[in-house]
Structure formats: structure tokens, C-alpha cells
Structure 1
């Protein structure tokens, strides 16, 4: 990483649009927002896609799984590339190349083409890693957790804002004379164009570090040329703390992705809500990213400044345990009012846990923040993949049994039995996931830091990690 850190920002001044640190913060947050917007942009149109392409229920589930699977590989690779080439070039290429499958989704004609595009669109989910890397090297230790959490949280809003934004884009397209049933195709093309344009903005208006771009610093001899890059990456892979955080992020961000991806149907099946109302509820929980993830980073910094790096870890463990308890309680409720209380609490704690995770990540190995961010970020998608597989398998078995047992009772009775069976299966799945989150919380307590990794006094005058 970088040899000098004197120009790192020690405050997150949201009214500052001129300094390179804050300009980068705003641009990287917006880029992340657009990536999430495009990544899950097809979700509001799935009923139209199913009808247009003739997707089977299995193909629909597979598209959800593929959308998060592609991101795993991209996140693992992009972190190492950031360490070597810098976030500016990595984000530029990711946005420009990632825009291609987004736009191509508007031209698919078969289910297979749709599934392939969804897999490759998932690669733009690697934008999270670059965002965290870029803010980590722009902000000092006393504020880095808050900066990371805020940029990530506001970026994650794209995954909820598309529920409103994409239908609005479709409505505008229809107003220009496009048939309503194919408006989703034009909407995806427009989302891809936005990502492409954002790539150009990133290239021309950001820098890799407060001191300049990686290439410039290498020429001046102010940072290593990564001749020992492989050895550095090897040390990252051997660090048990990286893999603990991999599991932790699987237990928070991964679970958030899957729970919100299945929550619409669950609320309808469990509580009898109509699709629009259920969708609006899920959207409102996603919009909590405006502040909830920031809170996780903020309290991570607070505990870090007062209790050292161990304080960050303890806060992470506590908030992660609270997340698991809230989801488990929610899974057992049959009352809509009580269920909403626990679901709100789950939304708050899961997003705070995500922020708290990346208040710890920058301190594991200051020379390989990108590689570590990539591995930990990939953990989120592995968690989403495994949770989706669990819920899909439980739901498929339960629904098949319900159909078999209600044969001869009429189509309405069969559908009712399917609804009850699906709700019961997903409820049981949520409970199991909640228990797994508690295990991850206990494992997080095993993260230790050597005395040499701490410094007695920092910018805030309190115990914290030194920028190396």
C-alpha cells in the first residue's frame, strides 16, 4: 500500500465537494449506487420477464442464485487488482465492461440467455470492494469506519431504489410509445448506459490516493511497485482473521441479500399481504441503509477510539448476535404487528453489522486492504448463495409434499396448501439462518490483534490503530 498517509481526511464533511477525499467519497458512493441499481434492476420486472421469456419457477430461482454467484469471483479478483493498479482504473473498467451485460439483458430472447446475462451482471457487485478500498485509503483511522459504512450504505440504496426508479424509467419509456410489455428491456439498456457514463466520470474526476494516482507515485518512488505482490497476497490468505470476517460478512450482508430477495413472497404467504404492500414494506427496510450502516461504522469507530481494536471486534460480535436473534424471533411470529417490530430490528442490526465489519477490515493488513476487502466482500455473496440454496430446497420439498397431499381437492385448495407449505418452510429456514448468525458472532470474538498493531495515541487522542 501507500507509504505516506498524512493527507488522509480525519473528518467526514458531507458539505465538502471540493477536496479530493470528499470528492472521491461522493463519486464512489454514486458509482456504487448505480451498480446496485443496475445489478438488481430487473427485480421489479420479474413478472414481465417470466411472462415474456416463459421462465419456469426453477429458472426464476436459478436467476436469483446466479445473480449473486458471479459477484463472488469478481470480488475475489478485484481486491487484488485494486492493490496493484489502484481503485480509479479498476472502477472505470468495471463500470464500462459491466455495462455491457446490463444492456444486453434488454435483448435476450431465451431463458438461457437471460440466465447468462444475470450471471455476468453480478460482476458489477464487485463495485463494493472498490468503494471500500477507495474510502479506506482516503480517510484516517479515527473516521474510516464511518466513511466506509456511509459510502457502502448509500451505495446499497441502489438495490432498493430500483423498486421505484426502474418502474419510473419504464413509465417514461412507455410515454414515448414503447409497448408496456417490453418496457423492461429499454429500462435495462438505460441502466447500462448510466453505468457506462459513470465509468467516464470515475476516470476523469477521481484519484487513487490523496497524494495522486498509483502510476504517478510509483514513478516518484513513493510506493512499492508490487514485485512481491504474490507473497503479500499469500500472507492475506494465511491470516485466519480474514476468513473469520469472510464468514461474518456472509452472516450479515449475505443474509440481507437473501432475506430481502425472498421477503416479498414470504410476507404475502405468511401474513396474507398483497404484492404491492409487501413490496413497499421491503423497500422501506432497504432504505434504512441511509443511516443504519453508517451507525455500524460510527459505533465501530467510537469503540475503536476508546477501547482500541479489540473494542471494534466486541461491538461487531454484539451487533451480529443481535441480528441473529432478531431474525430468529421474526421467523417464529404469526402476528403481523409483532413480525414488523422484529423485521425492523433485524433490518437495523444487519446493516449495522455490515458497517461494523468494515470498521475492522482496514486494520487487518494495511498493505493489502484491497485483497482483504475482496475476500471479505466475496463472503457476503457466498452467504447469499448458501442461504438461497437452503430456502429453495426447503421450499421445493415442502411445496411438492403439499401438492401431493392435496391432489383431487381442486386447484384453489392446492394453491392454498402450497402457500402454507412455502411460508412454513421459509420460516424454518430463517430460524436456521438466525442460529448460524449467532455462531458467526461467537467466531468473530476470536479475532485478535498484536500489540504492535496498536498505537497509544491517534488523531482523536485516544487508543486506535496507526496508519502505516
Structure 2
């Protein structure tokens, strides 16, 4: 851990690591969401149908769920410096592919591959956790997540302007291509300016690769249970691409997707058993154990927080336009207040966690989240528009503050597994987004908000099983030396 003073205006030591990490996350989110604000222009330029546009939006998030799991493993094994740099370089190529695309099939493949860059978030979680002590970790992770997440909003505001500046039918290509250049260049800036740990610290790696380690039979059963919703969500995305959805694939092709998912699940479960079969031979030493229930609870909470954020950001502009009879531009500006709260809400949630404890903060913010969505369910055209905006911003504070509080706790569970734990928790955010958007397509907006509120109540109940991090995490290096890492 670096003992430098926490000075947000500093760009040296641990603060340099934090700032460069949120910038890497910012760039990755700009690339991930670069097509959304330009989709109308892209559709006109290439003659895309509404169904094809919907398909591109679905494909943009399809790969992110497994990608976050995979990138979490790679980060723990090879370190965040190399992993983040490699991800930014590799994902610049499908970005260029999309910018140069002439057919729907080319755009679809590029968008599917670009879902991988959405996994960049989990890399920085491990990096920041290596540099900051527990008393500052929530604030640092909150700044990393909140400021980096703002990359999606930055894309929405700047890329249309850049496209217009270049002009012509190909303006959108230059705008999207520019984000690919940013990704490629920043990879080298990041690689040559960060290190995985402060000088003299050890980077602890998992003992076995291929699956998340657990330390008891009960935890293994819970891990298997928590894997199932992720595969179910991927199956749901497959259904959305079927003739019953947007019709990109035939029914037989969708059955093939289901078959592949079942096969991958079987391999995943086998690999999970192989990594953890030692727990059947005898108990894991006490100092090496960690309760997987901690991970499961945080998964449920991120399902409600980040999952609802992604879903609400997707539907809010149209909701404002229809409810208050606004133009789409004005509605989009008002709806962006929800995303803008990320700049302060997520760091705020982390800061409160550092000061008052992880569990109490999560209890308060999750309760506020439930009440916030209950409030949003009451919005009608009879409300004064400023009051509706205040309601949305208040709800947003609790949602994004909750996200910050979740990742204030994630790095305090088991240091050498932080990337994988962050990957699984992050993946549950995408699971929540797909679930809530599916609900939104089937029910009224009011019921949609009630469902999110109900998920927050479920999260509140699950919090009863969370244990406040205290004491130390014990890690063993390759020489067999035990290091105690404070989580107080």
C-alpha cells in the first residue's frame, strides 16, 4: 500500500495510479458506447432497419457478461497493467472495423466484439485496491468507477459534434474511429506510467487458474448457484435475436446457441470442481478461508444498482419525451441528469463507506434506492417538470452511491481473487440490465420501476447476511510467507 496523503489534485504516487486508471476506464466506456448517440445517422447512412438497430444495441452488451469473468481471471494472473493495456489495444481493432463497416453483418460482428471492452472496469478495481489502504479504498474506487463511467455520457455529448465537424455521410465514421485511436494510444500511456503494486509490495496471484477459488463445500454450492443466472441471461439474449425477438437468427440457429451455452456451462462447472476439489480432501486452513456469501450478497446488490442504471439510462429520454411532451433533444438533456450524478454519487458512496462502514452504508443506500424507484413510479404528466427531474436525480444518487459502496467492499474479501470477484459482481450488473430491460418491454413504466424497487428490497434482505469486513486478509506468496492485509 502507498502511504501518500490522499490529495485528489495530486498526480504522483497512488493518486497517479488512480487518475490514469479512471482515464483508462473512461476511454473504454467511450469506445463501448460510441455508436449509441450516432445510431440515427448510421442507420440513414447504411439504410439500416429499426430491427437491425435494436440488434446492434443487443450485441453491444452480449459479450460483456462472460468477458468480465474472463478478464477478472486474466487480471489476477497477469496483473492489471498488462491486462488493461492489452484490452485497450485489442478492442481498438473492432472499433476501427465498425467505423469502416459497409454492411449490417460487418457492423454486427464489430459490435459483438466490442462488448469485450465493457469488461475493462474490473481491471481498475484490482489496480486501485493494490495502491490504497482500506480506509481510503471506498473513495478511490468510487472516483475510479464514477469518473470512468462518465465516458458513456462524454460519448453522447461529444461524438455527434465531432461527426458534424467532419461533415458528410462519413462524419460518424471519423468520430467512432477517433475513439479507437484514443484507445490504442492510451494503452501505451497506461502501460509505461503505472505498476501493479507500490515498490516493495507483493502482487498475490490465484493458486489455480480457470475458476474462482472457494474455501468450503457450502461455498462451492453457492458459487454454482450464482453462475446459473449469468447463463440464463445469455440465453435470454439469444431469444431476443430469435424470430420471436428481432429475427437476426433462425430458430435452429438459436437452438444452436442454447446448445453451446449448455456445453460451456458444463465445462465451466467441471473446471470449477477441478480448481476446488481439494476442499473435499480436507478443510482449508482457517487463515486462508473467506466467506463466499460476501460475494453473493454484493452480486445481488450490483444487480439492482448498476443493472437498474443501465436499464433506466436506456429508457429515460423516451420516457421524459412521452410523459411531458418534450422534444427528444430536450428530453435527452434532462434524462442525462441521471448519468451526470455519477461524478459525485459513486465517489460519495465510497467515501461514506470509508467513514461509517461498508454494511451500514449499503443498508442506507439500498433502502434509499428502493424508495427512490417507488418515487419515480409515481411520476405522471401532472408533475411539475423540475420536480420530476429532482426525483430522478435523488434516485440516481442512491443508485450510484450504492454502486460505489458495493465496490468499496469487493476488494476487501480476498486480495488475490479481487479481479475475479469484481468480474462476477460486475457481470451481475449486466445481468440486471438485461432482466430489467426485458421487464420494461413487457409491462408499463410504472410496473417497471416497481420491479426495480422490489429487487432493492431483496438486496436489503440479502444484506442481513453480509459481514462487515474487519481484521486482516491473509495471503501467502510463492515462497510460503504469510502477509496480513488490513481491511479496517
Q: TM-score range by the shorter chain?
A: 0.7 to 0.9
- In the alignment, the residues of structure 2 paired with residue 276 and residue 346 of structure 1 have an alpha-carbon distance, to the nearest angstrom, of 22
Q: CA separation of 1:170/1:326 partners in 2, compared to 1, >3 Å: closer, same or farther? A: same
- In the alignment, the residues of structure 1 paired with residue 405 and residue 293 of structure 2 have an alpha-carbon distance, to the nearest angstrom, of 18
1:283-316 residue CA offsets vs partner (Å, 9 max, x unmatched): 2332222211110000011112xxxxxxx11211
Asked whether 1:437 is paired with 2:456, we answer yes
Q: Please say if residues 78 and 129 of structure 1, whose CA atoms lie closer than 8 Å, have aligned partners that are also in contact.
A: yes
- In the alignment, the residues of structure 2 paired with residue 35 and residue 121 of structure 1 have an alpha-carbon distance, to the nearest angstrom, of 10
Asked whether 1:466 is paired with 2:460, we answer no
Q: Please say if residues 292 and 351 of structure 1, whose CA atoms lie closer than 8 Å, have aligned partners that are also in contact.
A: yes
Asked whether 1:17 is paired with 2:17, we answer no
Q: Which ranges of structure 1 fall in alignment gaps of 5 or more residues?
A: 1-6, 305-311, 395-424, 456-464
- In the alignment, the residues of structure 2 paired with residue 73 and residue 30 of structure 1 have an alpha-carbon distance, to the nearest angstrom, of 23
Paired residue secondary structure (1:358): helix
State the 1:328 CA deviation.
Answer: 2.3
Q: Which residue matches 1:233?
A: 213
1:94-153 residue CA offsets vs partner (Å, 9 max, x unmatched): 100011111211122233332322222121111110111111111001000000001110
State the 1:389 CA deviation.
Answer: 1.8
Q: Which residue matches 1:291?
A: 344
**How do 1:342-421 residues align onto structure 2 when only pairs under 5 Å count?**
342-394=391-443
**How do 1:5-404 residues align onto structure 2 when only pairs under 5 Å count?**
7-9=1-3, 11-19=5-13, 21-174=14-167, 179=168, 181-211=169-199, 222=202, 226-229=206-209, 233-235=213-215, 238=223, 239-304=292-357, 312-334=358-380, 335=383, 336-394=385-443
Q: CA separation of 1:325/1:116 partners in 2, compared to 1, >3 Å: closer, same or farther? A: farther
Q: Please say if residues 63 and 115 of structure 2, whose CA atoms lie closer than 8 Å, have aligned partners that are also in contact.
A: yes
Q: Which ranges of structure 2 fall in alignment gaps of 5 or more residues?
A: 224-291, 475-484
Paired residue secondary structure (2:306): helix
- In the alignment, the residues of structure 1 paired with residue 6 and residue 448 of structure 2 have an alpha-carbon distance, to the nearest angstrom, of 39
1:395-447 residue CA offsets vs partner (Å, 9 max, x unmatched): xxxxxxxxxxxxxxxxxxxxxxxxxxxxxx23322222222222122212311
Q: CA separation of 1:299/1:451 partners in 2, compared to 1, >3 Å: closer, same or farther? A: closer
- In the alignment, the residues of structure 1 paired with residue 324 and residue 143 of structure 2 have an alpha-carbon distance, to the nearest angstrom, of 33
Q: CA separation of 1:337/1:225 partners in 2, compared to 1, >3 Å: closer, same or farther? A: closer
- In the alignment, the residues of structure 2 paired with residue 224 and residue 279 of structure 1 have an alpha-carbon distance, to the nearest angstrom, of 45
Number of equivalences:
402
Q: CA separation of 1:393/1:57 partners in 2, compared to 1, >3 Å: closer, same or farther? A: farther
Q: Which residue matches 2:235?
A: none
Q: Please say if residues 205 and 417 of structure 2, whose CA atoms lie closer than 8 Å, have aligned partners that are also in contact.
A: no
Q: What is the TM-score when the length of structure 1 is the normalising length? A: 0.81
Tell me the C-alpha RMSD between the 2 structures: 2.3
- In the alignment, the residues of structure 2 paired with residue 62 and residue 233 of structure 1 have an alpha-carbon distance, to the nearest angstrom, of 36
1:53-88 residue CA offsets vs partner (Å, 9 max, x unmatched): 343333333333322222111111111111111000
Q: Please say if residues 10 and 140 of structure 1, whose CA atoms lie closer than 8 Å, have aligned partners that are also in contact.
A: no
State the 1:452 CA deviation.
Answer: 5.6
Q: What is the TM-score when the length of structure 2 is the normalising length? A: 0.77
